[in-house]
Amino acid sequence: MDKLVIRALSPDLIEDYLSFFDRNAFADNPEWASCYCYFYHAPHKLKAWEARTREENRAAVSELISSGRMHGYLAYIEGQPVAWCHAAPRIQIPNLQEKDELRVDDVERVGAIVCFIVAKPYRRQGIARRLLDAACEGFHELGLVYAEAYPRINVSDDAANYHGPLKMYLKAGFKPFREFRDFMMVRKLLE
């Protein structure tokens, strides 16, 4: 996909990010349209995720982006955002350390990839893989040692694959790190 441009999220891209989530990210999955990829940052102990509104999540993620605390990559075709990958130093994604099964001792050395969203017309064209490569390269530039992800096992539709397909990670050199009933934690040594 020669026309594809990938850009690291920064405060100057906030309108592109919000536009993508407002219009295209969940066009075929409207029940998730209120997420704005805020789930792993939301203070679940203060308010249940299901009780949060679209407006609350949009405002909260806007604040994270504006302050440089939301990280990831937007993919563009002809100047329009068509995909997103939420990828950041693991220590900057607070809810990953909240769950006992996801807790790790080397959190400062790990980059985490928690979400991929590709607009429906652009799926299965290699965009997620290009975003994955950008995330791993970005982690390496930050001096992180591992890239880590959490793909689901035995998914039945695109919506359930929002962590990225396991097959994609394995082809990219990730190895199983921990296995759970519904998902696998995979890691790649960054060189």
Q: Which CATH architecture has domain 4-189?
A: 3-Layer(aba) Sandwich (3.40)
Q: What pLDDT tens digit does each residue of the chain (191 aa) get?
A: 569 999 999 999 999 999 999 998 888 888 888 999 999 999 998 999 999 999 999 999 999 999 999 999 999 999 999 999 999 999 999 899 888 888 888 889 999 999 999 999 999 999 999 999 999 999 999 999 999 999 999 887 777 788 999 999 999 999 999 999 899 999 999 98
So where are the chain's domains?
4-189
What the block records as the tokens of 174 is: 């990730």
